Amino acid sequence: MTGSEIERRRIMIVMGVFAALALITPFLDLFLQSLVTEILVFGILAMSLDILLGFTGLASLGHAAYFGVASYASAIIMTKQSWTVTYAIFTWTDSSGLGLFYLFIIGVLVAVAFAVLFGFLAIRAKDVYFLMITLSLAMVVWGLAYRWSAVTEGDNGIIVPGRPSLFGISLEEGLPFFYFTLAVFLLCLGVIYLITRSPFGRTLVGIREREERMEMLGYNIWLHKYLAFIIAGTFSGVAGVMWTLYNLFVSPPDVELITSAEALFMVALGGPATLIGPVIGAAIIRSLQQLASIYVERWPLILGSIYIITIMLSRLYGVDGILGIANKLRSSSAAADNSEG
Amino acid sequence: MAETETALELKSVTKQFGGLMAVNDVTLRLGQGERRGILGPNGAGKTTLFHLITGVLPLTSGEVLMYGQDVSDWKTHRRVAMGMARTFQITSLFPRLSVMDNVILAVQGLRKMKMVMWRPLSSFPEVFEKTEQLLTQAGFWELKDTEVRNLSHGEQRQLEIVLALASDPKVLLLDEPSAGLATGESREMADFLKSLDPNISILIIEHDLDVIFEVASHISVLHYGELLTDGPADQIRNDPRVQEIYLGKG
Ligand SMILES: Nc1ncnc2c1ncn2[C@@H]1O[C@H](COP(=O)(O)OP(=O)(O)OP(=O)(O)O)[C@@H](O)[C@H]1O
Ligand SMILES: [Mg+2]
């Protein structure tokens, strides 16, 4: 089987899984419907981080910042009546069924603006310094969310009364909102997949593998990393707007370190540079969190344990994440089949 | 004979690491199509000199000129765009990518399409044609799907050069291409280097004297960061100072 055939088969499998999900979800109870929707929202966040961590090899510990600012921005423009201009535009677009577009445009633009600024400050740093800088910059956002209470309501967070409709179709019910989320998710998956298969996407992998060589081959690696950072921030922003729409509530913990760390775990757990792996990671981590929510204070401990187990298994098999381990098991059993036959 | 065009010129190039003068006041000229060897014992500053020429390290003082243009303050990728290419003493490939993907990255390096995000790489046939041509020429076509880390050391040394050639360079810097090769492989390497387009100007660092005298017409000798002497290969071969410090015989 050639490489492109394997690739085509993988695409078919992924499309089949999501088609099945679309068919099954109406029969799930409300709790599970909501969980699936939440997983898709965090799946977008995890895929966006995969562009940085998996494809470019940049471990950002502040990826929730772009998610957070987009989340806050969309919540603010829906609720802040004293900001007459943004609120007037919202009510006007909402009344014509275009409110969602307005939210996404503003939310994602704000995320992009932050990524443009923060990326510029962070991208020259390497390894642990990059980790520290992205973390500190995200703390700035957290500080804003927490302290700038005139706009963000500080500790209380912002409660959003409801979701705008899409061309007059109400998304207030769980099921229509699930389908909307699935559509946004698939759009993001498709676009990010296309980017990773593009010439530009390949340069990111080259940078991950060996920066000095890429420079010597004529690449301005600073520019490539910076663009990757902005693209990742953009999709993180999409996830942030989706989070506001899903949760109808935004508060400082959404932009905290734990959210950034969770996103990193999702990628590492599922398998970096696979896009689908991080989504699987998101599914595992968000499901466990729902189950563990009764023991909220133990959550970081559980998260940490999962992470350590994945790392150890990955070391053992010499591969990355769950998808990597699965592939390894499959190929070794295939090899066993061949030797038997 | 008329003076040929100058491809690369170093003027009093100096690099200081703390108290160490790794490269000290080196002045050197590489004519268009010239093949110049650089000799010198371990730690003489040869690799550092390449770092300075390519802009990997900033100069402490001096100037680097390419075709008369002062590129001393230029970033590496701009110098590469002007026609510079380089191989590394310690193999510097993309070990987890296939041979084909390694060469594709090299072929893309100076093309504008490297920034395209919305089309798959497979929709750029010109890149694949060039890649196929390079791989076939170097005898790597059969190995195109092999991960580079699974190649032999000799194959990796050769691929190192294929990557440098992918941009059709005018000035090629080779840092010990035969490092770690067996004698027979070194011979093949020398033959391969001699078969390159005569318009390419080459600076080659080599410890293998058979290779360097085979490939280079002129030689510069570095010693403790300083240019000890330079001249036609035969003259250097017979220079008593060179024999003493480098060849290790009296
Ligand atoms: N980044 C650095 N910082 C400090 N000292 C350095 C650095 N790079 C090289 N040196 C020192 O500069 C001197 C020249 O090193 P260089 O690698 O250029 O030698 P070389 O001629 O290439 O030797 P070899 O034949 O072993 O490859 C050595 O003493 C080395 O230890
Ligand atoms: Mg050296």
Could you tell me how many residues make up chain B? Answer: 250
More confident site: A213 or B1: A213
Nearest protein Cα to ligand 1, atom 11: B22
Which whole-number Å values give the CA distances from B221 to B11, B39, B44, B65, B225, in the listed order?
A: 16, 5, 9, 20, 10
* DSSP calls for A252-273: GGGGSHHHHHHHHHHHHHH-TT
Taking the Cβ of residue B149 and every Cβ of chain A, the question of whether any pair is shorter than 8 Å is answered with no
Nearest CA to CA, how far is B26 from chain A (Å)? 23
Percent of chain A scored above 70 by pLDDT?
Answer: 91
Q: Under CATH, to which class is B1-83+170-250 assigned?
A: alpha beta
Any CB–CB contact under 8 A between A210 and chain B?
yes
- Can you tell me the mean pLDDT for B74-88? 96
Per-residue pLDDT reduced to its tens digit, A205-236: 999 999 999 999 999 999 999 999 999 999 99
A201 in contact with B at a CB cutoff of 8 Å?
yes
Of B85, B105, B117, the CB nearest to A206: B105
Q: For residue A178, give the nearest of A16, A15, A31, A277 by alpha carbon.
A: A31
Q: Which of B205, B209, B248 is nearest to B46 (CA)?
A: B205
Ligand closest to CA B40: 1
**What's the CATH number where A89 sits?**
1.10.3470
Query: How many angstroms is it from B89 CA to the middle of ligand 2?
Result: 6
> What are the tokens at A268?
């590492």
Cα B21 to ligand 1 centroid, rounded to whole Å: 10
Residue A326 belongs to a domain: no
Q: Does B112 touch chain A (CB under 8 A)?
A: no
Please identify, by atom number, the ligand 1 atom nearest to the C-alpha of residue B50: 18
Pocket residue to mutate for ligand 1, from B13, B24, B46, most atoms within 8 A of Cβ: B46
Contact present, A184 and A234 (Cβ < 8 Å)? no
**Per-residue pLDDT at B241:** 81
- Answer yes or no: is A325 within a domain: no
Question: Whose CA is closest to A37, among A173, A178, A176, A163?
Answer: A178
Domain ranges of chain B: 1-83+170-250, 93-168
Grouping H, G, I as helix, E, B as strand and the rest as coil, residue B217 is coil
What pLDDT digit, counting tens, does each position of B90-123 carry? 999 999 999 999 999 999 999 999 999 999 888 9
**Is ligand 1 within 6 A of the CB of residue B37?**
no
Whether A213 is in a domain gets the answer yes
* pTM, two decimal places: 0.91
**ipTM at complex level:** 0.91
Which residue type sits at B137?
Q
The pocket of ion ligand 2, defined by CB under 5 A, consists of: B 47, 89
For residue A209, the enclosing domain spans 3-255
> Residues B25-55: pLDDT tens digits?
999 999 999 999 999 989 999 999 999 999 9
Helix or strand run (H / E) with residue A339: helix A321-340
Q: Say what the pLDDT of residue A63 is.
A: 92
Q: Check if B48 has its Cβ closer than 6 Å to any atom of ligand 1.
A: yes
Residue A195 lies in a domain: yes
At A293 the pLDDT is: 67
Structural domain tally of chain A?
A: 1
List Cβ neighbours of B162 (8 Å cut-off, separation of 6 or more): B103, B106, B134, B135, B138, B140
CB of A200 within 8 Å of a chain B CB? The answer is yes
Range with the poorest average pLDDT among A60-74, A255-269, A314-328: A314-328
pLDDT tops 50 at residue A341: no
